[in-house]
Structures are given as structure tokens and as C-alpha cells.
């Protein structure tokens, strides 16, 4: 791998309270960051160094980490094929994403198990985003809040089933979305925490007291805030109220202007703070493709004007790209770009325990970064120090 030094524009390091350098440099050698600072980085150059000079109004940020993504660009995790994972991994750098959790959907157990085995067997190719684990969404959810999860495959939370999947995944399951009010919900949460996986409350009809019980049992996150859950009411806070009030819970946000009204995004951010918000896409196969007919978990999905729905109008994932989520977060809430970047990079990396190598720009970490224009478009993305997105003649 070549030594590279990026100069010429702004640089955001990504961690809480992160630095923003107006004229910064980023040095990478053998796929790892060696230095970050102000200036031209001349001390980190040699005759083999590739110099990357970006526009003065562009900004270098850490590669984004998407902990909730089902598919995109014509592929879906539940396709259970190497080609599907490779399609996703090869295309995600175009939106600035350099690491992601391959996310399953409620389905037949054998299909979920095949998807898990497919992810475990997958070997990352050069110049593509890295699959850093699995997010198991369902089947341990509440049928009354199923959203686009297939009803016929929903089951009660089961530690024995989960143990089988944990063993099958060889440590790659980082997050499980479940309904804590269902029988054995507390036992499942406690087991997941013992295995290093995050129990994330979602597709749940829990009341506030059940949310408190879930936290006591180990729940530490809420899946796609406001969606697929008992909503906030002045006589019963529900899942949404619990998510906002309980300090132990971080929240996922789909900031596409469809799943959540912009002012409700702002409310969630103000209530939880930057450190407890995780930007996700929850995207499905149609991302990056024209409007039309697609599928999600064996169900027909229609995509019109960026809105993915089942035949009954139920939202069925998104076609959101992560760089757009970052730009929308700034526009909807008035947060700084530094804060939005933290919510899309450092926070998710920390949540799934990979912040020692990903999520921010610091010496010793993986050379994952993206370069954004002032409008939020992606100019280039590098994964482990290799260009994964950007025209060959751009630099």
C-alpha cells in the first residue's frame, strides 16, 4: 500500500469535541493513519508518497459507519450470496461509508442462518467498505409494530435460538433488534450483553415501565427512533418517550425527511445530545437505483420519489445515502457538521466496539476517510488507504 498525504482543505477528526482544522493534513502509510494536523504534512512524505490536494472548501472526514443497512444498489443481505455483499461493499464508498453491519430481516430461520454464514464466509476485496459485523433485526419482535417485517416469521424471543446464531456468527453479531415486552425479552437482553452484542429495542409496543425493565436487563439502544414503536403520549410515554428519557439508551435516526419529520429529528437530538445519536440509512435494495418495483424480505416494494413502501403504504426501509443523512442532520437541527459527522462515524463505531480502529481520524486507526464538498457530496472515499471511490483523473 502506498503512503499518502491529503492536504488543501478542511479536516474534521470525528470524535466527541473533535477538532476542525481549516488547513489540515492527513497522513496514511500501509493502510493506517500516521498523523493528523495543520499544514502540508511534509514530515510524512517521501519519494513514494502520493500527494492528494483537495479543494480549499472541501472537508476530509472519517469514513461513515452504518450499523443498520439491509441493502442497496440492487443487492440485499438476505440474498445470501457473495455477489450481494460484494455489490454493497463496492458501492457504499460512493456515499462515504467505509464500514457497515450487514442487517437481516425477519424471515425463516434457515434463511437468517444462511445469511449469517454468508457474512462470516465473506472476505473483503481491496477498495471496498468493510463488513464489521451483523445486525439481526427480528424475528423477536411485536407483531403489532412489525412495520415491513413479515408477520408469518415473527417469533417469541429465544435464548437457545440466539445462542445458535451467536455461535454460527463467530462473534460477528453486534446488534439485535427485539421487543422487550415479549416473553423472555429480559433473558434475551441479558444474554446478548453477556456475548458483547447490543440489545436494541425496536418493532416494540412496550409501555414506559417495560422500557425501564428492559434497560435494567441490559437494553442499551433503540432501533430507528419513532418508527416501528409505541409512540409518545402524554398519558403513556411508550417506547419513544422511554428512548428520549432513559439515559442508558442511544438512538438510531433515519434522517431522510420521510421516516421522521425534521422537527422531530431536532427534538430527538436536543433530548439525547450528539453523543447518543447514531445516523443510519436502514436502506434496502433500491438505493442508488431508479424508482420502480423491488422487494424486501420476499415482499413487493414500490419506490416512488425516494419513498419505499409496501402495497398497503407501510414504509419499507429507505433509499437514503449516508452523506445525505449527514447533510440533512445539519439542515434539520442546526447542529454543526462536526457533530453530524460524529453521529455518522465515531458514535456507531464506539457503539459496536470498533472505535479503536474506526470512526475518527487519529494515528494508529484505519486509513478510512471521505472527502465532502461544501454541499455534502462525496468527492473521494478511501478504505484502508486505498481509493474506493473517485475518478482516476481527479487527483
Residue 68 and residue 57 share a domain: no
Residue 233 and residue 114 share a domain: yes
> Is the Cα dihedral 371, 263, 205, 212 positive or negative?
positive
Query: What is the total count of domains within the chain?
Result: 2
Residue 364 and residue 311 share a domain: no
Count of beta carbons in the 10 Å neighbourhood of residue 170: 11
List pLDDT tens digits, range 77-114. Answer: 999 999 999 999 999 999 999 999 999 999 999 999 99
Please check whether residue 19 lies inside any domain of the structure. yes
Residue 204 and residue 219 share a domain: yes
List pLDDT tens digits, range 29-72. Answer: 999 999 999 999 999 998 889 999 999 999 999 999 999 999 99
Confidence of residue 392 (pLDDT cuts 50, 70, 90): low
Confidence check: pLDDT of 336 > 70:
yes
List pLDDT tens digits, range 200-256. Answer: 999 999 999 999 999 999 999 999 999 999 999 999 999 999 999 999 999 999 999
Q: What distance in Å separates the CA atoms of residue 61 and residue 96, rounded to the nearest whole number?
A: 9
Residue 151 and residue 45 share a domain: no
Annotation marks residue 282 as catalytic: yes
Binding residues for Zn(2+): 137, 203, 224
CATH no. for residue 259? 3.20.20.140
Q: What is the pLDDT of residue 52?
A: 94
Confidence check: pLDDT of 393 > 90:
no
Q: What percent of the chain has pLDDT over 90?
A: 95
Q: What is the pLDDT of residue 391?
A: 65
Residue 307 and residue 252 share a domain: yes
Q: What is the pLDDT of residue 141?
A: 98
Catalytic residue from among 79, 282, 355, 368: 282
Q: Which domain holds residue 40?
A: 3-61+359-390
Please check whether residue 395 lies inside any domain of the structure. no
Q: What is the pLDDT of residue 298?
A: 84
**Cell output for 168:** 454460527
Binding residues for substrate: 148, 227-228, 235, 259, 315-317
CATH no. for residue 21? 2.30.40.10
Residue 289 and residue 186 share a domain: yes
**Taking all residues of the chain, what is their mean pLDDT, rounded to a whole number?**
96
Binding residues: 137, 148, 203, 224, 227-228, 235, 259, 315-317
The pLDDT of 296-318, averaged and rounded, is 93
Amino acid at each position: 500500500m502506498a503512503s499518502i498525504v491529503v492536504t488543501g482543505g478542511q479536516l474534521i477528526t470525528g470524535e466527541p469535541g473533535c477538532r476542525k482544522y481549516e488547513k489540515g493534513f492527513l497522513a496514511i502509510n500501509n493502510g493506517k493513519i500516521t498523523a493528523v494536523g495543520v499544514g502540508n504534512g511534509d514530515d510524512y512524505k517521501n519519494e513514494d508518497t502520493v500527494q492528494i490536494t483537495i479543494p480549499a472548501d472541501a472537508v476530509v472526514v472519517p469514513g461513515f459507519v452504518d450499523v443498520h443497512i439491509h441493502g442497496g444498489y440492487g443487492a440485499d443481505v438476505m440474498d445470501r450470496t457473495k455477489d450481494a455483499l460484494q455489490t454493497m461493499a463496492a458501492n457504499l464508498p460512493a456515499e462515504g461509508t467505509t464500514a457497515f453491519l450487514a442487517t437481516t430481516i425477519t424471515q425463516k430461520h434457515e434463511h437468517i442462518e444462511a445469511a449469517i454464514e454468508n457474512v462470516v464466509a465473506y472476505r473483503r476485496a481491496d477498495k471496498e467498505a468493510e463488513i464489521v459485523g451483523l445486525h439481526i433485526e427480528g424475528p423477536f419482535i411485536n407483531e403489532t409494530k412489525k412495520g415491513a417485517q413479515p408477520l408469518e416469521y415473527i417469533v417469541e424471543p429465544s435464548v437457545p435460538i440466539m445462542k445458535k446464531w451467536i455461535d454460527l456468527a463467530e462473534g460477528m453479531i453486534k446488534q439485535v433488534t427485539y421487543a422487550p415486552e415479549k416473553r423472555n425479552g429480559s433473558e434475551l437482553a441479558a444474554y446478548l450483553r453477556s456475548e458483547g452484542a447490543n440489545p436494541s429495542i425496536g418493532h416494540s409496543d412496550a409501555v414506559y415501565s417495560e422500557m425501564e425493565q428492559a434497560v435494567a436487563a441490559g437494553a442499551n439502544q433503540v432501533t430507528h427512533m419513532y418508527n416501528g414503536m409505541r409512540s409518545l403520549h402524554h398519558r403513556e410515554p411508550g417506547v419513544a418517550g422511554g428512548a428520549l428519557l432513559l439515559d442508558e439508551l442511544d438512538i438510531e435516526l433515519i434522517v431522510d425527511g420521510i421516516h421522521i419529520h425534521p422537527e422531530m429529528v431536532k427534538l430527538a437530538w436536543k433530548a439525547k445530545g450528539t453523543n447518543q445519536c447514531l445516523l443510519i440509512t436502514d436502506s434496502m435494495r433500491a438505493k442508488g437505483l431508479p424508482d420502480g418495483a423491488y422487494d424486501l424480505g420476499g415482499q413487493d416494494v414500490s419506490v416512488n420519489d425516494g419513498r419505499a413502501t409496501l402495497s398497503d403504504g407501510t414504509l419499507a426501509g429507505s433509499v437514503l445515502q449516508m452523506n445525505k443523512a449527514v447533510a440533512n442532520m445539519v439542515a434539520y437541527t442546526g447542529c454543526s457538521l462536526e457533530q453530524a459527522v460524529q453521529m455518522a462515524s465515531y458514535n456507531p463505531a464506539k457503539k459496536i466496539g470498533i472505535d479503536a480502529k474506526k470512526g475518527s481520524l487519529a494515528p494508529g486507526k484505519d486509513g478510512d476517510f471521505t472527502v465532502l464538498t461544501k454541499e455534502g457530496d462525496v468527492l473521494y472515499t478511501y478504505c484502508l488507504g486505498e481509493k474506493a471511490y473517485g475518478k482516476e483523473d481527479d487527483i
